[in-house]
Structure 1
Amino acid sequence: MPPRSPPVRRLSIPAPGSPRAANRRRWEAYAPSINSAPKGRWGPEAQLIREFRARYPAAPLAVIKYAPGQTGVALDPDQRDWNVHSRHEAWDRLTAMTDAALASCHLRLDAVFWMGNHHDGLSQEKASRVRENMRELVQASRAKWGAGVPWIVGLPDDTAPYAAVVRRGLAELDWADPRIVSFDTADYTLQSDGLHYDAAAVIRLGRDFYAGWERLAASHSEERMPSGPQRTGGGA
């Protein structure tokens, strides 16, 4: 019989006031729709894990996921955002989560998988600054977790008024940085509300995330391929 694959670990962060709040961070074996958030649902990480396991059945893999909704990368004093100059918001929270997670599992951050920026496309000013704001976010992640950390970035669809500006900014960031790879999601299928991805699109997103990581692995094979315990997957 083939060797059994090790479980994929994910970081669990109980809500404040829950029975586990005293021990706020712990690792669990990933179980889609059981301990994936929100409960009863699952995200693209499920398919990404399947793709990774098919190729690397014995490599350690840990997933850190933080995906707050309705957040852009532009500095916004009126709502939470991913801007690196905002305090106590998405970037600071992800930093705290990731530092604690890596310290507890003794792995390194090997990739960031990013799908967002739709909210930036709702404003012309925010859209025009996507490239610079994302560049600062990527640089901050590399200053924190290693200069070679790759980013796999999904380009948002074209439903926002200034989506074309956002998509162009992200594509230009990809062209300028050999450790970023982007892919298009414009033809992903949606639920009946016309806003959220349906199940097929979520699966496709996970598959495209993995394919992007593999493309970077082929370009930097000596740095990107899993080797021993130094392997982790990161998500935002």
Structure 2
Amino acid sequence: MDLPPACEPPALVVVAGQSNALGYTLGRSDLPPHLQTPVPDAWIWNPLRKGFEPLAPGSNTGAPNNPQAWGPEAQFAWRWRAAHPCAPLYVVKHARGDTGLAADPAARDWSISSRGELFDAASTEVSAAKAALAARGAPVRVSAVLWMQGEKDATDRAKGDAYETNLRAFIARVRARWGDAQTVFEIGRIDDLGDGYPGAGAVRRAQARVAATSEHVTLTDTDAFPRQPSDGLHLTAKAQVALGDGFFEAGRKVAP
């Protein structure tokens, strides 16, 4: 891959979380017209090929076993490139459905204490992406992390109660290992999920408190975003576009 010329510094953004970061059930047929072609000068890391390729929503924006999925990165990239017309954007996406932030020996999780699980896997990809850019003469810092996660922790009251502590520790480790003290951490707030989610209130309060009391941390409220009628949990295509807009608007207000 030949790196595109830049008249502004390039940016590297990480998208992480669970199914509402991945884009559950969404594919190319769900894309709005402006996202049906690759976003110009936006590049996404391919973990199988170990390289960047043009970001094409609905084609290479999911997980390796579900590449057609797309989430907030599609609209975020489109908005970012419109605001920075001669700077490239690089995206590393590592989102996996049904994954919590609390350590769980019985399931995959994002806990920083769980060795060899999601945080470590994402860290490997971020490091490889940064090394690839540096080798091609375009060293770049992680400017933002887009985080849409918390529904899994909301299914358990104890995990919900621990969410604030776990999230603060996670942000600190993300900045230490992926970015730096100026990396903007953008939280997508989970919905008020109701019955079956005894920890939801605690997760929502934790997300709001962390954003309100931390430097360079933002909160995008998703309560008004439409959910898929089949389960009332997962974001629709329209909602994913709104989440991308929310992340873009929130991030540019606090970016150093």
TM range (shorter): 0.7 to 0.9
Q: CA deviation at 1:39?
A: 3.1
Among 38, 50, 56, the alignment partner of 1:31 is 56
CA deviation string 1:38-78 (max 9, x = no partner): 33332111100111111111112100000011111101111
* Residue 146 (structure 1) aligns with: 180
Contact 1:6 1:58 in 2 (8 A): no
Q: What is the letter of the counterpart of residue 151 of structure 1?
A: F
Residue type of the alignment partner of 2:127 = D
The separation in 1 between residues aligned to 2:110 and 2:69, in whole angstroms, is: 24
* C-alpha contact (below 8 Å) 1:6/1:59 kept by paired residues: no
The corresponding residue for 1:120 is: 153
Match of 2:244 among 203, 206, 214: 206
Measured against aligned partners, the alpha-carbon deviations of 1:5-41 in whole angstroms (never above 9, x if no partner) come to: 9521100022xxxxxxxxx411101111122223333
Q: Which has the higher contact order (CA 8 A, sep 6+)?
A: 1
Alpha-carbon contact 2:103-2:114 (below 8 Å) kept = yes
* Aligned pairs (5 A) from 1:176-191: 176-191=213-228
Does residue 170 in structure 1 map to residue 207 in structure 2?
A: yes
Alignment deviations for residues 191-236 of structure 1 (CA, whole Å, 9 cap, x no partner): 121222111101001110101111112xx3xxxxxxxxxxxxxxxx
For the pair 1:107 / 2:145, whether they are aligned, the reply is: no
Q: Secondary structure of 1:9's partner?
A: strand
Write the distance in 1 (CA, Å) between the matches of 2:167 and 2:52. 29
Per-residue deviation at 1:87? 0.6
- Root-mean-square deviation over aligned CA pairs: 1.6
Deviation at 1:150, TM superposition (A): 1.3
Amino acid at match of 1:154: G
Q: Distance in 2 between matches of 1:171 and 1:7?
A: 33
Distance in 2 (alpha carbons) for counterparts of 1:40 and 1:121: 27
Structure 1, residues 147-205: CA drift from partner, whole Å, max 9, x if none?
22110101100113321110101111112202101121112101121222111101001
Q: Distance in 2 between matches of 1:133 and 1:41?
A: 28
Structure 2's unaligned 5+ residue stretches are 1-5, 7-38, 134-138
TM-score by length of 1: 0.83
Aligned to 1:13: 47
Structure 1 residues 24-103: aligned runs within 5 Å: 24-37=49-62, 38-103=66-131
Report the TM-score, using the length of structure 2 for normalisation. 0.77
Q: How many pairs does the alignment contain?
A: 206
**CA–CA distance in 1 between the matches of 2:102 and 2:208?**
17
Following superposition, the deviation at residue 129 of structure 1 comes to 0.6
